[in-house]
Structure formats: C-alpha cells, structure tokens
Structure 1
Amino acid sequence: MSLPTTQRAVVVDKVLVKNEIAGVNYIDTYFRTGLYPSPKPEVLGREAAGTIAALGPETEQSGLQVGDRVIWLANGGYAEYSAVPAAKTLKLPDALSYEDATASFMSGLTVLALAKETYTVRPGDWVLLHAAAGGAGFLMTQLLKKIGAHVIGTAGGPEKVALVKSLGADHVIDYRSEEGMDWVSTVIAITGGRGVDVVYDSVGKDTWEGSLSVVKRKGTIVWFGNSSGPIPPLPLNRLSPKCVRIARPTLFGYIATREEFEQYANELFDLLVSGALKVSIHGLYSLADVKQAHIDLEARKTTGKVLIKVSE
C-alpha cells in the first residue's frame, strides 16, 4: 500500500550527492552553539558541491542525472555523502570549479537578495558594510560598487583594509586602529553629517548601537548576522526619532520557491563566469580539521570564504 502524499514527502524528491567541497558559514557556528536551536546530534554545513551518486524517487522532473556536477543548499554538508532535496540542487556551469562555486554560493545568493530585495540599492546610495573582508562582505563590496553605490567598509587590521580597498570600496575603516575606535564619528564625517542610506550589519552586538547612530533619517538597517553575538532587545520607540526601518532577513525566505532559487543562482553564476564577481578563499581545511576552521572563523582570523575538502 502506498503512503499518502503528505507522508511520502519526507522520503522522496531527494538526490544523493558525493560531496567534494563544503562551505563553512557563520550560521554553522550558530547551530553548533545553540544560538539557533536545532536537533542534536546533527551534521553541520548548509552547502556543498560534488557529483550526483544516485537519484531518489520522484526526482524525474528535476532534470538531474547521476554524474552531474552540482551544488546544493540544505543541511549536512560536512559529510562525504549527503541526501538533499532535488529542489535545492543545481547543475554547475562547466566553467566553475567546485571551490569557486562553493566559496560564492550561499554568500553570493545572500548578498544578491540583500542588495535587491531587503533594501534595493541604487546608484549614488551611501552604504556602510560591516565585516567587508569576510565571506559575504568580500562579495557584497564588489556587488555594491557594480551597482554604483558609495561604499564605506569596516574591517579589522591593515591586511583586511587593503583587501577591501582593492575591491573598490570608497572608504575603509580599520576598527582596530585609533581612528577606527570611533568609527561612528568617521562615518558621519565622511557623509557630511547626513548618515548612510543603509547599513548592512552581520556583526550584531558590537556594532548595533553605532549602526543606529550612523543611519540617516528614513534610512534602513539590515541585520543579517551575529558574529559578535545577538543584539540586545530593541525597543521600537528607538526607531521613531529618525523613522528608521529595520530588517532581519534570512536567505531561505527569498529562495523558498524553485523559481526564486534558480533566478538568484543563475544571476550569480553569470557574474562569476563573466568575471564581474571575484571569489576569495581563505583556506581549504580537511574534514578532520573542521574544529579548527570554526575556531579561525570565530576568532576573525579569516579573509574570504572558509572551505572544507571533503573527498581526499
């Protein structure tokens, strides 16, 4: 006797992928520490690239075949094999390596959604981007300049500052320097006292007060991460004096449908293949060194994307 559709949905529509490269994202640390609740034990990792080893039931309409080079977004990337939804699995262009694709996929989809939907960045906008040398920040800086925005980035240390400047940022503040200790005054001065149109903040606790200070009247703050810890409770009346808008988006809310997923992924692939978007890889860790990868990421020792080489 066949199961009702509602019961079959948990076991069908999946493909088995032999992973080659997995991405390490800050969200992995949130699940590991319990900041974001999830069942334990669990296999961490939200993205990986590899080849399809097998097709599950009811995947005929996916267009996927055994042997296809693919990349996916789901759970369980820190593994040699992952059974993942066909709806969140895409073929990779031949021109993209597993490393470059994984280094840009989840982060790239995120920054595209942030710059196009969460707040639609326009040419001439003043944008403050925290953690501009990180996995998402590296891509976001390039995208913002491609749009034509004025970019103020923050980063920690001369090496990261130089990297962000090389991407075209108009101003880069080293928050570890004497000047950077008062980055709020610096941003206000750069914008002639006006403030920025939008703040993209993935740092959280350490920057939230400053972000509220530097956003302009009728401006927008987009919080999309908590690398320094979650922000304290925010009374809504704090937003009233400047009529500030606050957004707390998540990527998966923007790519819930297959059409949305393909739209953003294809746009990202086009940018990468054309060379309009460059990738930065901090390092390629072994699966046995996942702990060290998380330590380095949380200590802010990384620049660009952290990757795991799953298959030896």
Structure 2
Amino acid sequence: MTRDTIDGLLEADGELPLADDLLRATRRWFDHLTHERGHSPATLASYERDLRQFIRFLKSDLGHPPCLMDLANLDVKAVRRFLASRRREEATSRSLARSISALRTFYRWLENEGLVTNRALSQVAMPRIPHTLPKPLTVDKASALVDGEGAGDDWIRARDVAVMLLLYGAGLRISEALSLTRREAPVSGRDVIRIVGKGGKERLVPILPVTHRAVERYLKLCPYPLEASTPLFLGAKGGPLSPRLIQLAIARMRDELSLPETATPHALRHSFATHLLAAGADLRQIQELLGHASLSTTQVYTEVDRERILAVYDTAHPRA
C-alpha cells in the first residue's frame, strides 16, 4: 500500500476528499500495518477496501468529508445503516464480517494512539456466516488434474502442472506458489522450502520428488531467462504469472476430466489436507504444513473426512 494510494482514498469516484486529520491518521495506520505488523500486500488491499467503503458511506451519511471527530461520534445506528447499505450492494455476510473486523482493528489502533475512543462497532454483532466445509477433490481427480503426461513441449502446460503440484503436493496457497523466485525454485536437492504465509508466518514445507521433476521440466522448457530474484513462474509474455491464469487453466480442464465446479486452485490445497488426514496424518502436522495460526482452522478437515467415512460406510455395509 503506497502513500499515493492512501492520499487517493475515495477520490477515484470524484467524491469529497478526507479531512486532513483523518487522512494523516489513515496514513499512519497503514504504515503501522505495513512496517510493524508486516501484513502482506493482499491483506493491506483488503483493509484499504473495507475502510474506503466505510468512509464513502460516512461522507454520504454526514454530507461532508469525515474527520476524526466524526469517527469519535459514530453511534450504533450509523454502523447499522452502513451494514444495511452494504447489504443493498449485495455484500455477503462473510464480506460484512470482514469489514467489521477491519474497522474494529482501525478503531483499536486509533484508541491506542490516543486519537479516538468509540465502542460502537464492538456493540454490533457480527453477521452470521453459514458454516461451509472445504470441497476437496477425490484422489483420482486431483491426480488427473496435476498429471503432466502427454503435454509434449508445451511450456505453458508444464508451468501450470508445476504450480498445481505445489498446491496439491505441498499445500501452498496460490499466492505463496506464485511468490517464489527462481532462487527459491523447489528443484532436486531442495527437499524443503521456506514459505512466508499470512501475517508473515513462516513455515517449512517438504517437496515431493514428482514436484521437483515438474518444476525442473518447466525450467527446461521456459523460453524466458530467469534471474535469481525474478518470479519463478512467468506468464506467456514473460511477466509475473497471474493467479487468474491458473484458475482459467483448471476451469478449461473441468469438462475434459469431468471435474466438479468446485475444482479450483484452492480446492487442491483442501485436497492436500484432506488426503493427508485420510492417510493417518496428525492434525497438528497438517496445521503446520498449511500454515494455519489456529488448530481450530485445521479441524474443519476432520468434518470433511467424517463425511467421507460415512459415505463409504453407507455404500459398503451389507445392512446399510
């Protein structure tokens, strides 16, 4: 998040600018998130989006550029009007919960800095988020998706297979796989790689020989020179690979492989965890491999495995 981005907060729509005191506070908050908290660019962008939506609402609700005093005077009714306005924009409960969480973080920082004290946001209940389980692929479907046989000398297909093997074979997030540099390439002799995940949390991830071979094949076929510090995975024109291209590659393979609509890059990470659990891996070990901060986040996979066991029971038991 750059200073120019903060200075341009909400001005893209030609609306009134922020009051100077709130703009200065916003700059300092993002400096804090960037340099002291070490948040990733994706997390910073999420905070910026949530704050921008909130301040846009305040400008419309108040009729003038909001300042720190306006934030101090915020009441519960105003928060509920904000949530209602987001609902009218068809925001999901998950999006609203994320917005409230981001705004609470902002208000806690304002209070710690002695700028604003207001508990209105803490008095509003979080929207109820429907409980959804991860949707992993079967072992056969996941294996078919990452099978690079028959691709010939197609370097694009070799690249996509290497990326997908990092998701399914190592449990990486797509952002983590695409953030690897050529220097960090998981090739033969490098059985473990260091990954910096959400919130700057570091973890060591083992790499399978099949993944080594896929990455080495991609490196051999890639038509562009790769410097040590440049991204490992490149797009067709030689720039950094966009996550969207991996999403599209999987989407194109759905019909060919009879994959469900839930087959996505993240489904490969879900499959990694679910298949390890089904094979007897310890939940704590899976937590470390996935880089989850809390075991409760990983425990959702026990419910997925329970459904699989019950389905097998219903199919196989003679009295079912």
Q: What is the TM-score normalised by the length of structure 1?
A: 0.25
Whichever structure has more helix as a proportion of its residues is 2
Q: Structure with the greater relative contact order (CA < 8 A, sep ≥ 6): 1 or 2?
A: 1
Query: Highest CA radius of gyration, 1 or 2?
Result: 2
Give the number of the structure whose residues are more often strand, by fraction: 1
TM-score, normalised to structure 2's length?
0.25
